[in-house]
Amino acid sequence: MRKEDTVKLISAEGFEFVIDKNAAMVSQTIRNMLTSPGSFAETQHGEVTFPEISTTILEKICQYFYWSLQFASGKETEFHIEPELTLELMMAANYLHT
Partner 1 sequence: MAMYIRVKRSKTTYFIQCDPTESILDIKQKLHALIDQPANDQRLILVGTGEELDDSKTLADQKVENDAVVALTLRKDDNEFEDVDIVKPDDFLSIS
Closer CB to partner 1, 2 or 36, in the complex:
2
Q: CA quadruple 26, 30, 32, 38: dihedral positive or negative?
A: negative
Question: Least Å distance between CB 38 and partner 1?
Answer: 27
Closer CB to partner 1, 36 or 87, in the complex:
87
Write the single-letter amino acid at 58.
Answer: L
HSE-CB at 73 with a 13 A cutoff on CA atoms is 6
Closer CB to partner 1, 18 or 91, in the complex:
18
79-98 per-residue burial string, b: 16 or more CB within 10 A, e: under 16 = eeeeeeeeeebeebeeebeb
Q: Report strand pairing: 16-20 vs 6-10.
A: antiparallel
Closer CB to partner 1, 32 or 56, in the complex:
56
Which parts of this chain interact with partner 1 (CB under 8 A)? 1-3, 6, 11, 13-20, 23, 54-56, 59, 62-63, 66, 69-70, 73
Question: Least Å distance between CB 4 and partner 1?
Answer: 10
